[in-house]
Amino acid sequence: MAEQNLEKIKVKIAGMHCASCEVLIERQFLSLEGVNQVFVRSGKAVIYCSTRPSVEQLQQAITPHGYHLTALDGQKIEVINDTKINAKKDYFQIGAIFLLVMAGYLLLKQFNFISTNFGITEQMGYGFVFLVGLVASISTCLAVTGGLLLAVSTKYNAGHPELSSSQKIKPLLYFNGGRLIGYAVLGGLVGALGSVLTFSPKVSGVITILASLAMIILGLQLLHLFPGLQRFPVRLPKILAHKIHDLSSSDSKLAPFSLGALTFFLPCGFTQALQLYVLTQGGAFYGALIMFFFALGTLPALLSISILSALIKGKVQNYILKFAGVTAVLLGLFSMQNGLVLAGNPLGQVSQNKSQTVLGDPNVQMIDGRQVVKMKINYLDYYPARFTVQRGVPVEWVIDAAKASGCMSSLLVPGLGIREYLPRTQPKKITFIPSQTGTYGFSCVMGMGTPGAAIIVVDSPNDSDQSSCDVTYADCLKS
Q: pLDDT tens, 404-420?
A: 876 788 898 888 889 88
* Confidence tier at 251 by pLDDT (50, 70, 90): low
Q: Mean of the pLDDT values across residues 235-239? A: 58
* Confidence tier at 233 by pLDDT (50, 70, 90): low
| Residues 105-117: tens digit of each pLDDT | 777 666 655 544 4
pLDDT at 436: 92
Separation between Cα atoms, residue 390 and residue 373, nearest integer Å: 12
Q: Mean of the pLDDT values across residues 146-165? A: 66
DSSP annotation of 443 reads B
Residue of higher predicted confidence among 238 and 304: 304
pLDDT at 313: 54
- Bridge partner residues of 40 (DSSP): 45
Separation between Cα atoms, residue 270 and residue 277, nearest integer Å: 11
| Residues 296-348: tens digit of each pLDDT | 998 888 877 655 554 555 566 677 777 777 877 887 787 777 677 667 665 43
Cis before 384? omega within 30: yes
Give the least confident one: 12-16, 86-90, 175-179, 294-298: 86-90
pLDDT at 184: 94
pLDDT at 239: 63
* pLDDT exceeds cutoff 90 at 182: yes
Separation between Cα atoms, residue 267 and residue 242, nearest integer Å: 10
Residue of higher predicted confidence among 433 and 263: 433
95: number of Cβ within 10 Å = 11
Separation between Cα atoms, residue 10 and residue 263, nearest integer Å: 30
pLDDT at 116: 43
Q: Mean of the pLDDT values across residues 195-202? A: 68
pLDDT at 181: 94
Residue of higher predicted confidence among 388 and 246: 388
* pLDDT exceeds cutoff 90 at 14: no
The vertex-390 CA angle with 385 and 393, nearest 5°, equals 115
Do the beta carbons of residue 70 and residue 77 sit within 8 Å?
yes
- Residue 100: which residues within 8 A CB-CB, separation 6 or more? none
* pLDDT exceeds cutoff 90 at 194: no
- Bridge partner residues of 457 (DSSP): 389, 438
* Confidence tier at 377 by pLDDT (50, 70, 90): very high
* Among the four given CATH numbers 2.40.160.50, 3.30.70.100, 1.20.1260.10, 3.40.50.170, the one describing domain 2-76: 3.30.70.100
Q: CA separation (Å) from 388 to 194, 282, 342, 371, 372?
A: 36, 34, 20, 10, 11
- Bridge partner residues of 96 (DSSP): none
- Contacts of residues 80-89 at CB distance under 8 Å and 24 or more positions apart, as own/partner, are 82/14, 83/14, 83/15, 83/224, 83/318, 84/14, 84/15, 84/43, 84/224, 84/227, 85/224, 85/227, 86/223, 86/224, 86/225
Q: Mean of the pLDDT values across residues 219-246? A: 65
Q: Mean of the pLDDT values across residues 424-453? A: 87
Sign of the C-alpha dihedral computed for residues 262, 263, 268 and 272 taken in this order: negative
% helix / strand / coil in the chain, to the nearest 5? 50, 15, 30
Model confidence, pTM = 0.53
Q: What is the mean pLDDT of the chain?
A: 75
Give the least confident one: 129-138, 225-234, 252-261, 429-438: 225-234
Residue of higher predicted confidence among 112 and 431: 431
Separation between Cα atoms, residue 263 and residue 247, nearest integer Å: 12
pLDDT at 445: 73
Separation between Cα atoms, residue 412 and residue 419, nearest integer Å: 5
pLDDT at 456: 93
Residue of higher predicted confidence among 116 and 45: 45
Question: What is the CATH number that goes with domain 358-478?
Answer: 2.60.40.420
- Residue 139: which residues within 8 A CB-CB, separation 6 or more? 17, 218, 222, 270, 321, 324, 325, 328
The residues spanned by each domain of the chain are: 2-76, 117-342, 358-478
Separation between Cα atoms, residue 340 and residue 125, nearest integer Å: 19
